[in-house]
Structure 1
Amino acid sequence: MPLRLPPLPALRFFEAAGRHQSFKLAAAELNVTPSAVSHGIVGLEEALGVELFVREPRGISLTATGADYLSYVSEAFSLIAIGTQRLPNHRANRPIALSCAPTFASRWLLPRLPLFRARWPKVNVTVDTSHRQVGFPVDGFDFAIRLSRAPVAGSAWTRLFGEQLVPVCSPGYLESLRDVQGTPLLSNATLIHVNAASEDWQTWLEATGAEHVDPDAGLRVDTIQLAFEAASMGLGVALGRRPLVNRDLESGALVQAAFNTVNSATAYWLVSAENADRRPELLDFRQWILAEAAQFSCDTSVDAAAAQ
């Protein structure tokens, strides 16, 4: 007798909603409405005779039964994805799929991609910058670049490089901060904060011992990109993150507002899918991006030594 399975579309809704802990985020990932996800999961719960989620005004959470069931469903989808990828000649010429943050993509990755294209002109790359959790191998990505203090269990993580924190502002704004001796004073500056940043002004101020600077006052924005743009417009001093701010410093659009550079506790990591060693173009891309990262690490080491 064949196994009787729940409706597969409903299982896909459940897996995405359970992973995101959100019907809305699951709907965005699957290109459906949140209502469709909600109704699909209600139908699944009725078919199974169990409650998978706790619905509360502030959001949803998995029940103990739902969390246990999610582990089985996620593993099942992963096995299907892996089996499909291992089929002979399955999408042999598909693009390399990479997920990363938009600011990292525009300021570090994209300027270097022409070098990769010059060496491998027939290999296409797809860059996804949506703010969503990537599931390997279900979501079809080959690589992801993530900012984290340490690798996360369950995937292959390789460290690329760390960030260096340095205050930056426009040249005109720097002049407005100078005292009678010509020394720029951060205590006179409007600090530009990034709400989502794991390390911001508090980290830099504690590491450098800077005094008379309020770490909470100032302008707040949602992204690092907006912080850099606000600084270039003369709205205050942003905490620059090398390598993301290097282009602005090299062009002169931004200048250092202080010479103290602090190494961040977080780093950029290349996360690889399980099958990343089975396609030659994936191996080439991985080796290329690691070589680019190593070159950046060497460059920043020289810069740091020269600044001392």
Structure 2
Amino acid sequence: MRNLPPLNPLRAFEAAARHSSVRLAAEETNVTPGAVSRQIKVLEDHLGVVLFRRSPSEITLTAEGEQYFNSISPHLWGLSDATVNLTGSKGGQIVHIRAYTTFAGKWLIPRLSSFSDAYPNIEIRLTTSLEAVDFQRENVDAAIRLGDGDYPLFEVDKLIENHLAPLCTPEYAKREQIRIAQDLAGKQLLHTLARPEDWRIWIETVGLQGRLDWHSGPKYASSILAYQATLEHQGLMMAQKALFEEDLRKGRLMQPVGPTVTRGKFTYYLILPRSRMRNPALRRFREWLQNECQAVQEDEPVIPTAPRWSGTPG
């Protein structure tokens, strides 16, 4: 036990190494960045080893620092796990998740109460953005991204299927007498600027090019705005169908015509840096999210899009 390093400096080092940021380590440990820097210096003096290379804008682990971080981090998280198991207390566990506005509002948030019921001592802090996450500079533990799943530097979990379908209110479908796909000609198509090719993808996949003007109609900054316009009976949105399952179930929206088009591997993924896997609270969230996604039933026929298409979220 005489060889144990001072524990507060050890905690500061582990947080700074995990975030690659003194500032984010300070936020996590509720001290100032200067205090974190001083604690790391205390640890370096105690060990007689330089743990970080420092520049005005960033810190990076030295080879010795990386080796030490990889060795001590599992033990620190093991202490945290043991304490949680013994006391049932989170000890200040917070998980920072980044998602898209529509995914968060229409799919994730309605389910989060079940996570809170299962883990009342873990706090989920959810933020939304269209921008890619910089895990080294932002206080984000995991992100939900729309893409092809090719994230070689991260742990990656496929979430829900990305199925495209035209949706509208029953009132709009009745008023406009929409019964088959060809009836969409001349109707108001509502677009999401963040995913500008959704209508084109669907129209070309189902063979209606030349019959429908895929770029006509109002353009909205996000899917949630197009959704609101749809609820107001202003037209049809091309929706990622899984995000609007509650509206379909309750009859607020309907799919007036088929088919539903699947984007295949281009869908939603949870991504997180491998170093975050040592966080027990994040592991629990990841397991819960996987179970929620497995519970989603996909029992309707879909047709695949051409693989050349891509898109961005809304």
Shorter-chain TM-score range: 0.5 to 0.7
What is the CA–CA distance in structure 1 between the aligned matches of 2:107 and 2:170, rounded to whole Å?
A: 23
2 CA distance for matches of 1:109 and 1:74? Answer: 34
Please give the alpha-carbon distance, in whole angstroms, between the structure 1 residues aligned to 2:107 and 2:272: 19
Q: 1:140: Cα distance to partner?
A: 2.4
Amino acid at match of 2:228: E
Greater RCO, 1 or 2 (C-alpha within 8 Å, sep 6+): 2
Question: Residue 249 in 1 paired to residue 248 in 2?
Answer: yes
Aligned twin of 2:7: none
How far residue 109 of structure 1 moved from its aligned partner, in angstroms, is 0.6
Relative to structure 1, is the Cα distance of residues 153 and 92 closer, same or farther in structure 2, using a 3 angstrom cutoff? farther
Matches within 5 A, 1:174-189: 174-178=173-177, 185-189=183-187
Question: Do structure 1's residue 200 and structure 2's residue 224 form an aligned pair?
Answer: no
Residue 212 of structure 2 aligns to a residue whose secondary structure is coil
Identity in percent: 26
Q: TM-score, normalised by structure 1?
A: 0.66
Distance 1:173 1:139, change over 3 A: same
**For residues 76 and 134 of structure 1, do their structure 2 counterparts lie closer, same or farther at Cα, with a shift above 3 Å needed?**
same
In the TM superposition, what is the alpha-carbon distance from 1:173 to its structure 2 partner?
1.2
Q: Quote the Cα distance in structure 2 between the aligned partners of 1:123 and 1:206.
A: 46
Q: CA–CA distance in 2 between the matches of 1:304 and 1:116?
A: 31
Quote how far apart the aligned CAs of 1:172 are.
1.6
State how 1:146-157 maps to structure 2 within 5 Å.
146-157=145-156
Instruction: Tell me: CA distance 1:92–1:132, structure 2 relative to 1, closer, same or farther (3 Å).
Output: farther
Q: Report the Cα offset of residue 158 of structure 1.
A: 1.7
Q: 1:282: how far off?
A: 1.7
* Conservation of the 8 A alpha-carbon contact between 2:164 and 2:260: yes
Partner secondary structure for residue 161 of structure 1: coil
What does residue 29 of structure 2 align with? none
2-structure distance, mates of 1:198, 1:280: 39
RMSD, aligned α-carbons? 3.4
Residue 215 (structure 1) shift: 0.8
* 2:281 equivalent to 1:281: yes
Taking the aligned partners of 2:152 and 2:132, their CA distance within structure 1 comes to 15
Conservation of the 8 A alpha-carbon contact between 1:170 and 1:232: yes
Aligned to 1:275, the other structure's residue is in SS state helix
Paired with 1:244 and 1:74, the residues of 2 have a C-alpha distance of 39
Aligned residue for 2:144? 145
Structure 1 unmatched ranges of 5 or more:
1-14, 17-70
- How far did residue 169 of structure 1 move? 0.9
Contact 1:142/1:276 (CA < 8 Å) preserved in 2?
yes
The Cα shift of 1:193 comes to: 1.0
Q: Which runs of structure 2 are paired with 1:44-63 in the superposition (5 Å)?
A: none
Q: List runs of 5+ in structure 2 lacking aligned partners.
A: 1-19, 22-54, 81-89, 303-314
Alignment deviations for residues 69-128 of structure 1 (CA, whole Å, 9 cap, x no partner): xx9966728999996x94947996231110111111111111111111111111111001
Quickly say closer, same or farther: Cα 1:162–1:145, change in 2 above 3 A: same
Tell me the distance in 2 between the aligned counterparts of 1:151 and 1:242.
23
**Distance change >3 Å, CA 158–CA 122, structure 1 → 2:** same
Tell me which residue corresponds to 1:259. Answer: 258
| Partner residue, 2:95 | 96
Provide the C-alpha distance between the structure 2 equivalents of 1:270 and 1:242, rounded to a whole number of angstroms.
19
Question: Structure 1 residues 161, 113: closer, same or farther in 2, change over 3 A?
Answer: same
Give the drift of 1:277. 2.3
Read off the aligned partner of 1:275 and give its amino acid letter. Answer: S
Relative to 1, partners in 2 of residues 1:208 and 1:223: Cα closer, same or farther, differing over 3 Å? Answer: same
Q: Would the aligned equivalents of 2:93 and 2:121 in 1 still touch at CA under 8 Å?
A: no
Residue 219 of structure 2: SS of its match in structure 1? strand
* Distance change >3 Å, CA 75–CA 294, structure 1 → 2: farther
Q: Which residue of 2 aligns with 1:76?
A: 60
Once the two structures are TM-superposed, the CA of residue 138 in structure 1 deviates from its matched residue by 3.3
Pick closer, same or farther for the CA change 1:161–1:74 going to 2, 3 Å.
farther
Aligned length: 233
